[in-house]
Chain A
Amino acid sequence: MARVVVDVMLKPEILDPQGQAVANALPRLGVNDVASVRIGRRVEIDFAGDADLERAREIADKLLANPVIEDYEIRVVEAA
């Protein structure tokens, strides 16, 4: 089995209220030196055979990320 990981993040110019809420909670943990937090999504795709980067890219383009608001990065990893 071969695994492809897709990391989906909101584009930098899109407000991330979830990340902001986390950042605003950090002082309650005594953490005061964090400038910003942004939250994304990690998707693991396990291929039955070899890792197919092209196919994974197609999946990411069509479904996993909305190109209007999100960017993604894609990479093959060794499955554990």
Chain B
Amino acid sequence: MSKIGVVTFPGSLDDGDAARAARISGAEVVRLWHADPDLHGVDAVVLPGGFSYGDYLRCGAIARFAPVMETIADAARGGMPVMGICNGFQILCEAHLLPGALTRNQHLHFRNRDQWLRMENSSTAWTNHFTEGQEILVPVKNGEGCYVADRRTLDELEANGQIVARYVRGNPNGSTRDIAAIRNEAGNVLGIMPHPEHAVEALTGPSLDGLGFFSSVLKHLADAKAAA
């Protein structure tokens, strides 16, 4: 069984839900601790949402220097699948594992609602379960979710197919080019502002669409093991 690690930083909120989503999808979940650089043999890592280190200075700026992040950054560069959700996306940008940055929502209001996304790229470790153009419904909840990057970076992201999901039927935070999720060039690192881990059960979520991210990475890991 593939092992998905879920990191808890001081101030993480959604680590419990991320672990639950991974478990429902059929993964063995390993809880990772910010101060422990050991990844305990996990095959993939989720950086959950929340307010790591109080979001002091900038969101994700201090979490980037957590002992566990140095190990994760090395593993990510080596191809390990890593998904950063919300605050986790901010941490990945601060750690330069993804280009660009997340800034204050343009209207300055915290937005918390169910949000439609259009999946734009299914060639990542975390999105192979989706078809391109598929629309999914997951919760979004952020105060600093406005993705920005310089024009050259944005054009490169577009040209390389690194924009993985865009907001449709309304952009909740003013994000540039409606960007909701991006991937690195290799496709193993995904940053997503909305919350797939909150859309995995009919009782609590607006859909079960979030499961696709977790089943994607499990398929990716199984395929990699079969090929090895």
Contact = CB atoms under 8 A, between A and B. Distances in A.
Contacts of B149: 68
B105 A17 contact: yes
Interface residues of B, number: 21
A69 B101 CA distance: 7
B101 A17 contact: no
Contact of B94 (A14, A17, A66): A66
Contacts of A68: 93, 99-101, 148-150
Contact of A66 (B58, B107, B108): B58
Chain B, interface SS category: loop
Nearest to A64: B57
Contacts of B58: 66
A25 interface: no
A63 interface: yes
Contacts of A37: none
Interface in A34-80: 63-64, 66, 68-69
A30 B30 CA distance: 58
Given A14-B103, A21-B108, A69 B148 contact: yes
Interface residues of A, number: 12
Contacts of A17: 104-108
A15 interface: yes
A66 B101 contact: yes
A66 B106 contact: no
Interface string A1-42: 000000000100111011001000000000000000000000
Nearest to A69: B101
Interface string B104-115: 111110000000
B108 A18 contact: yes
Contacts of B107: 17
B75 interface: no
B191 to A, nearest CB: 13
A20 to B, nearest CB: 9
B104 A18 contact: yes
23 contacts: A13-B150, A14-B103, A15-B103, A15-B106, A15-B148, A17-B104, A17-B105, A17-B107, A17-B108, A18-B104, A18-B108, A21-B108, A63-B61, A63-B62, A64-B57, A66-B58, A66-B61, A66-B101, A68-B99, A68-B148, A68-B149, A69-B101, A69-B103
Interface of A: 10, 13-15, 17-18, 21, 63-64, 66, 68-69
Q: Which 5 A-B pairs have the closest CB atoms?
A: A68-B101, A69-B101, A17-B108, A17-B104, A17-B106
